[in-house]
């Protein structure tokens, strides 16, 4: 029986993140915090719920000059630990529901392994593959649980390549400390529990200290993106989203500087050597953006290796089944980078942590009204061009 959809109630919203983010197959991109951020940057947001209560965040925009519009279900519907056929049924039901509300095209990039046959199920329901919106064609995964339950820290350490372990050990011996900003933690006792290798921002200054730290991290990402070929959103919007996700407990920011931390509400001490953000969702801790100071690698080798190891320790301590290292491809690529490929080094870096390639079904869309869809895309593109010319 096809699942039904309705507008979310106050009760649905009260438990939204527990199912959309923290539940099986959950995603931070289906969170209330992401919906609020999307609304701030111009999306119209709808909170729907299936008849069994599973939430669905919908972002949509009207076309310029013509009726109708487009909708995007970021990472939705979440797989929820169900068979791929059930997730496909949910997506088809969502597309039907939104079509009756005047939406002409629905795009989705739920993270479902390709081996499940999900893409074929979507094709049978009238969907077609499209270019990725968020990276969604594969991920590098480190399994942190086996048939007998979670593995221990010693086993995780043993699964890391020897040269990578040596880099981590060297960074520790030089006294580098990872600073942790985490909405789920606070107080100085966290540093003691981590044997002096991690210093956690105290609750009293965490919000202001995190904002002061994330601004330089954004600048570092801009530099890193110029080298690696990716772009990052504007500083104020990015920092606002990261802080909101941290506040909700979905995000951990880890960084390394060249001096020990003194937690204040002002600018952080020392030079930023490297940093990375990680998202909690489902049974995963997901590696998001990261960057380091390329010109300081010879003086401070192993900074990002140290950060990633401490993230693995966090995932282990929280009993998570996977450290999701994200992808290594560029737009349009689907295969493991070959020797000589610009992304080969990133692939080998993640492989050295025990990462294994997992193919995903990727992004798909279904068009309900082809003519209005074509007209809407054309008029909206023309409107964007006109706005750009006026600003210029």
CATH number, domain containing residue 300: 3.40.630.30
Residues 125 and 145 in one domain: no
Domain that holds residue 24: 5-135+362-391
What's the CA gap between 150 and 138, in Å, rounded? 23
Q: Is residue 164 located within the same domain as residue 301?
A: yes
Same domain, 209 and 111: no
Please give the structure tokens belonging to residue 385: 């061009």
Residues 354 and 296 in one domain: yes
Cβ–Cβ < 8 Å for 252, 277: yes
**With contact defined as beta carbons under 8 Å apart, do 257 and 272 qualify?**
yes
Give the pair of three-digit tokens for residue 290: 């990261």
| Nearest in space to 328 (alpha carbons), one of 318, 341, 317, 316 | 341
Residue 64 and residue 114 in one domain: yes
Query: Distances in Å between the alpha carbon of 254 and those of 47, 58, 244?
Result: 31, 30, 16
pLDDT digits (tens, 9 = 90+) for 38-62: 999 999 999 999 999 999 999 999 9
**pTM assigned to the model:** 0.93
Whole-angstrom distance, CA of residue 85 vs CA of residue 122: 9
Same domain, 152 and 122: no
The distance from CA 82 to its chain's CA centroid, rounded to whole angstroms, is 21
Tokens linked to 384 = 């964007």
Query: In terms of Cα–Cα distance, which of 19, 28, 79, 78 is closest to 250?
Result: 28
Region of 340 (left: φ > 0; alpha: ψ -120 to 50; beta: rest) is left
User: In which residue are the tokens 């791929």 written?
Assistant: 84
Do 10 and 49 lie in one domain? The reply is yes
Q: What is the pLDDT along the chain (392 residues), one digit of tens a residue?
A: 678 999 999 999 999 999 999 999 999 999 999 999 999 999 999 999 999 999 999 999 999 999 999 999 999 999 999 999 999 999 999 999 999 999 999 999 999 999 999 999 999 999 999 998 888 889 999 999 987 788 999 999 999 999 999 999 999 999 999 999 999 876 554 444 456 788 888 888 889 999 999 999 999 999 888 777 777 889 999 999 999 999 999 999 999 998 888 887 777 888 899 999 999 999 999 999 999 988 888 888 899 999 999 999 999 999 999 999 999 876 555 789 989 888 899 999 999 999 999 999 999 999 999 999 999 999 988 888 877 777 66
Tell me the pairing of strands 55-62 and 44-50. Answer: antiparallel
What is the torsion angle, in degrees rounded to the nearest 10, for the CA atoms of residue 322, residue 172, residue 251 and residue 51? 10
Q: Which helix or strand (DSSP H or E) is residue 323 part of?
A: strand 322-324
The answer on 148 and 111 residing in a single domain is no
Output the CA angle 112-314-185, nearest 5 degrees. 110
- Chain centre distance of CA 218: 16
Q: Which residue has the tokens 């070959």?
A: 338
Pairing of strands 128-129, 138-143: unpaired
112, 161, 227, 139: CA torsion to nearest 10: 0
Say whether both 161 and 114 belong to one domain.
no
Q: 199 with 207: CB under 8 angstroms?
A: no
Q: Residues 312, 366: one domain?
A: no
Q: Which of 363, 337, 74, 360 is nearest to 228 (CA)?
A: 337
Q: Which two tokens stand for residue 165?
A: 């372990």
Check whether residue 59 and residue 187 sit in a common domain: no
DSSP 62-81: EPSSSS-EEEEETT-S--TT
32, 171, 356 from 163: Cα distances, Å: 41, 13, 18
Number of domains forming the structure of the chain: 2
Q: What is the pLDDT of residues 7-23, one digit of tens each?
A: 999 999 999 999 999 99
Same domain, 301 and 383: no
Distance CA(206)–CA(181), nearest Å, equals 7
DSSP label of 49: E
């Amino acid at each position: 029986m096809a699942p039904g959809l309705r507008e979310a109630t106050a009760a649905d919203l009260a438990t939204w993140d527990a199912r959309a983010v923290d539940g099986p197959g959950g995603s931070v991109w289906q969170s209330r915090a992401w919906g609020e951020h999307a609304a701030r940057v111009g999306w119209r947001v709808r909170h729907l719920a299936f008849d069994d209560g599973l939430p669905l965040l919908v972002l949509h925009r009207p076309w310029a000059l013509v009726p109708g519009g487009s909708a995007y279900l970021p990472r939705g519907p979440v797989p929820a630990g169900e068979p791929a056929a059930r997730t496909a049924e949910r997506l088809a039901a969502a597309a039907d529901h939104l079509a009756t509300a005047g939406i002409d095209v629905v795009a989705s990039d739920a993270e479902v392994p390709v081996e499940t046959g999900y893409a074929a199920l979507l094709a049978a329901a009238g969907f077609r593959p499209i270019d990725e919106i968020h990276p969604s064609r594969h991920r590098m995964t480190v399994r942190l649980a086996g048939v007998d339950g979670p593995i221990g820290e010693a086993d995780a350490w043993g699964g890391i390549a020897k040269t990578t372990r040596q880099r981590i050990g060297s960074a520790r011996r030089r006294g580098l400390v990872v600073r942790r900003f985490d909405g789920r933690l606070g107080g100085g006792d966290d540093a003691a529990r981590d044997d002096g290798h991690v210093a956690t921002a105290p609750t009293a200054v965490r919000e202001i200290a995190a904002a002061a730290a994330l601004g330089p991290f954004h600048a570092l990402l801009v530099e890193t993106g110029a080298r690696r070929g990716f772009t990052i959103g504007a500083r104020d919007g990015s920092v606002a989203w990261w802080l909101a996700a941290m506040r909700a407990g979905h995000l951990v920011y880890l960084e390394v500087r060249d001096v020990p931390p003194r937690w204040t509400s002002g600018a952080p001490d020392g030079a930023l050597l490297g940093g990375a953000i990680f998202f909690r969702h489902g049974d995963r801790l997901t590696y998001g953006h990261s960057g380091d100071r390329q010109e300081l690698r010879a003086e401070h080798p192993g900074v990002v290796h140290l950060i990633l190891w401490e993230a693995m320790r966090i995932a282990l301590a929280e009993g998570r089944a996977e450290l999701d290292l994200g992808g290594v491809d560029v737009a349009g690529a689907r295969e493991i980078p070959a020797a000589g490929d610009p992304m080969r080094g990133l692939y080998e870096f993640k492989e050295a942590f025990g990462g294994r390639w997992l193919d995903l079904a990727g992004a798909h869309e279904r068009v309900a009204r082809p003519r209005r869809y074509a007209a809407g895309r054309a008029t909206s593109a023309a409107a964007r061009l006109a706005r750009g010319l006026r600003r210029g």
